[in-house]
Amino acid sequence: MVLDPEKYDFGFALLAEEEGFDESYYIEENPDVINAGITPFEHYLNYGWKEGRDPSREFSTENYLSENPDVVSEDMNPLYHYIVWGRTEGRNISIKRVNTELNDEFYRKLQRSHKDGDKSSDYSPRIESHALTNQDAPKVIAFYLPQFHPFKENDAWWGKGFTEWSNVAKAIPQFKDHYQPRLPSDLGYYDLRLTDVMAEQINMANLHGIEAFCFHYYWFAGHRLMEKPLEAYLENDEKLNFPFCLCWANENWTRRWDGSENDILMAQEHSEADNEAVFYDLLRYFKDKRYITVNGKPLIVIYRPDIITDLQELTKQWRALAVKEGLPGLHLVSTNAFGFKDYQGIGFDAIVEFPPHGIEAGNINSKIELYNNDYTGNVYDYDEVIDFSLQRLESQAESEYAKGYYPTVMTAWDNSARKPGNGNVFHGATPAKFQRWIDGCYRWSNDEHHNGEKFVFVNAWNEWAEGTYLEPDKKYGYAYLNAVRSTINENSKKERGLLNLTQKVKGRKSSDTIALIHIFYEDLIDEISECITTACKFKKIDVAISIPDSFSIEATKKIIKKLKPVRIVLVENRGRDIWPFLQTLDVILNLNYKFGLKLHSKKSTHLLEGNKWRKSIYNGLLSSTSIKSAFNCFEMDESIGLVAPKDFMFALTGDALIDNCNSLNVLTALYDCETNEKLPFVAGSMFWFSFEMATHLLHEGVNRELFGPELGAVDGTIAHAYERFIVSLAEHNHFKLENYEIDNYYNPY
């Protein structure tokens, strides 16, 4: 669609076209636009309204502009303005509304979605930290749809310029809490004809531990579909240097997107001659140095082997041709789509799950609150899907069948974009639930498969129109990708030398005060060291360090040299800075310090000036005047348990509270201590404290399971809640919070 991206949102433009534009009327009233070289709606959006033309019989361009001079001053298309803002503001215009029974909640939700993606508290920004992959661990492979570019067949079947984005952008929620529309963030509405797009996808995949793409390959008796991205991938082996394999989607291409025998757009014609022809087309990929192999044999997935005429002949033929062409053979993999199970009986080497195929879950339509009373789709519980999948894996453990059984997870599933009002939805998916699923599959593969044959698949990298994708979106950001990385990291083999090195650190106590510092980012060691060194000119401060178990030995040696810690505690990447702090506190408790400083290597990558905030916090705690002010507070009153600058204090209301209520309730129950919403909290969770108070923070129920895997959420986790809870817990145990004034504090909020 031709539009000014600085003025018009693509998704809302599609909505305006669908709900307020009558193409037949516009052409009838304005026959000259037929030869304009753009669609009638594009003409109206960019030119027609300025010429006083109307988009439909019901909408008057002239009247709307005359009654709303602010729209004129913004040089905004009147129909677009009405659809996005005008109707919810009650602007006086007569326009035909599709779905008139939908209530205001629906429109508010849709408006939020297009404005900021209806951002979840689970939203995670990009975190530049690589997954700890190794060759003996399972490889995570993501199915990849090469649909996102225009091609002539789609132009003929669906209209010129059609891609999957055409469906994705106009999807709307059918019931309460239905996650639609699903809008991409960092990669936008990309075009796969551009190799720069695929290069950035590879960058994302590498960062988060995805080790290969499994491209869907479309061949119909010699005719290829969606081949341009794959051909570009093959030709750009240096720029797109990333492992891959193929899945032959050997079913009919249909208008219903389901491979059925109805509404066929392009049919399969399986035959002996076609089998040989498709093999030789695939051979170019098999011989590529990036192609995934098992014992040297290229791995090829066939989506529906059971519909191939004389399948065993194909199997025999392909294996022979592979050897003839210099390959050691093929690793043939079926999917479990449409109930298929017996991969061994057809002479294949393995089978890969392809959810939601083969999944059992109960229909929950009766439990949802419909926006669209004409909705005829089916809604299922995502939690049930996970339970079923993991139980099925467990039932197959240690069997011969399991050796060639590759588990697959899906981030969600919702094909409402392709089937408006009739989609199937697996409802209630979250990054944390997805992580539980992929973690179970990852561990199972590690236990059941031989080295070199350990695979966990994800459906999918980019199935946007089916609501299952790893790519970042506006609601969750990188949270699903972080779930993959977290799974890999928590199951990775740790560097034994790192553990030995940290256990040898037994520094001597030299002060009554110690800084407990969690260093997650290796590149901040120098900055933290400089701050502590400067602070020690005014007051002697010992140091205890916690580091993640992914830390390099080189960086750990640097910490030992520069900071001379009394202890180094090796921790999992869970609970942000809070769980490492509690673990370190427990380790050094017997050293009998009187005062402590909680510090950590904060970056706040979701904020534009996150680094500036960190530096301002460090200065507010460790400058000479700050140290003097803090200890004046402790000397003034022995009941003071927490001290921080006044500017660090935030009220426990509104946004600071709303996403943390559930987690705060968990902490309230554990400690038998109510959250006092009248008390402020210390934003950034860095402060001075007394050890007498800090002993009350330790609780056997506050453990690794409570904090859970790290998914990068910007709010709403147990760690975020704990930051807001500490002051209440201190008060509950008869300790006070005190503050002092500082100058030049930078507040990012």
Percent of the chain topping pLDDT 70: 95
The CA-based angle 469-417-124, given to 5 degrees, is 35
Rank 273-277, 337-341, 469-473 by mean pLDDT and report only the highest. 469-473
pLDDT at 385: 97
Q: Are residues 459 and 520 part of one domain?
A: no
Res. 714: pLDDT tops 60 = yes
Is there a domain that residue 335 lies in? yes
Last residue of a domain, one of 454, 471, 491: 491
Among 10-14, 277-281, 513-517, 718-722, whose mean pLDDT is lowest?
Answer: 10-14
How far is residue 103's CA from residue 113's CA, in Å, rounded to a whole number? 16
Q: Is residue 302 predicted with pLDDT exceeding 80?
A: yes
Q: Are strands 297-302 and 687-690 parallel, antiparallel or unpaired?
A: unpaired
- 530 in the same domain as 468: no
Total residues found in the chain within this entry: 749
Q: In terms of domains, do 599 and 556 share one?
A: yes
For position 192, what pLDDT does the model report? 97
124 within some domain:
no
CA distance 285 to 322: 12
Decide if 618 contacts 599 (C-beta within 8 A). Answer: yes
Q: What is the mean pLDDT of residues 48-77?
A: 88
Q: Do 433 and 532 fall within a single domain? A: no
- 527: which 2 tokens? 């900055």
The string of pLDDT tens digits covering residues 661-697 is 899 999 999 999 999 999 999 999 999 999 999 999 9
What pLDDT sits at residue 121? 86
Check if the beta carbon of residue 248 is closer than 8 Å to that of residue 281: no
Q: Is the pLDDT of residue 95 over 60?
A: no
DSSP string over 357-413:
TT----B-GGGS-BS-TT---EEEEHHHHHHHHHHHHHHHTTSTGGGGEE-EEES-E
Q: Which pLDDT does position 157 carry in this prediction? A: 85
For position 527, what pLDDT does the model report?
Answer: 96
Whether the per-residue pLDDT at 717 is higher than 90: the answer is yes
- pLDDT (average), residues 283-298: 98
Q: 121 in a domain, yes or no?
A: no
Q: Is residue 282 in a domain? A: yes
Reported as a pLDDT band with limits 50, 70 and 90, residue 292 is very high
Record the tokens describing residue 531, joined without a space.
Answer: 């701050």
Max alpha carbon distance in the chain (Å)?
A: 91
- Total domains present in the chain: 3
574 pairs with which residues across the strands?
Answer: 709
Do 664 and 547 fall into the same domain?
Answer: yes
Whether the per-residue pLDDT at 310 is higher than 70: the answer is: yes
| 122 assigned to some structural domain | no
Say if residue 109's pLDDT is above 70.
no
Cα–Cα distance list, 727 to 93, 626, 649, 722, 731 (Å)? 53, 20, 11, 9, 6
* Domain final residue pick, 491, 519, 548: 491
Full domain range(s) for residue 395: 139-491
Distance, CA of 219 to chain centre: 31
Residue 259 has pLDDT above 70, yes or no: no
Same domain, 569 and 446: no
Residues 388-422: pLDDT tens digits? 999 999 999 989 999 999 999 999 999 999 999 99
Helix (H, G, I), strand (E, B) or coil at 481: helix
With a cut of 80, say whether residue 102 has pLDDT above it.
no
pLDDT at 97: 36
Helices (H), 639-703: 655-658, 661-671, 691-694
Count CB neighbours of 432 within 10 A: 16
Tell whether the model's pLDDT for residue 495 goes beyond 80. no
Q: Are residues 442 and 570 in the same domain?
A: no
How large a percentage of the chain has pLDDT more than 90?
A: 71
Q: Around 442, how many Cα atoms within 13 Å sit in the side-chain half-sphere?
A: 26
Q: Is residue 111 part of a domain?
A: no
Looking at every residue in the chain, the average pLDDT score rounds to 91
325 or 221: which leads in pLDDT:
325
Q: How confident is the model at residue 100 (pLDDT cuts 50, 70, 90)?
A: very low
Q: Are 595 and 513 in contact (CB under 8 A)?
A: yes
CATH number of the domain that 705 lies in? 3.90.550
- Binned at pLDDT 50, 70 and 90, residue 3 comes out as confident
For residues 420 and 468, the answer to whether their CB atoms sit within 8 Å is no
Half-sphere exposure of 678 (CA within 13 A, CB side): 1
Buried b (16+ CB within 10 A) or exposed e, 3-17: beeeebbbbbbbbbb
| Spatial CA neighbour of 245 closest among 275, 211, 276 | 211
* Domain end point (choices 472, 491, 510): 491
For residues 743 and 34, what is the distance between their CA atoms, to the nearest angstrom? 66
Structure tokens at 713: 């959420």
Confidence band for 108, pLDDT divided at 50, 70 and 90 = low
- With 0-12 CB in 10 A as exposed, 13-18 as middle and 19+ as buried, what is 580? buried
Q: What pLDDT sits at residue 46?
A: 87
Q: Are 482 and 523 members of one domain?
A: no
Taking CA atoms, 536 is separated from 533, 556, 741, in Å, by 5, 21, 21
Whether 126 maps to a domain, the answer reads no
Q: How confident is the model at residue 659 (pLDDT cuts 50, 70, 90)?
A: confident
Higher pLDDT, 550 or 236: 236
- Helices 195-208 and 228-235 cross at an angle (nearest 10°) of 70
CATH code for the domain of 297:
3.20.20.80
- Are residues 438 and 509 located together in one domain of the fold? no
Is the pLDDT reported for residue 427 higher than 90? yes
Regarding whether 55 and 199 lie in a shared domain, the answer is no
Same domain, 155 and 204: yes
| Least confident residue range of 488-497, 579-588, 602-611 | 602-611
Token pair for residue 569? 């505690």
- 374 and 429 share a domain? yes
pLDDT of residue 610: 77
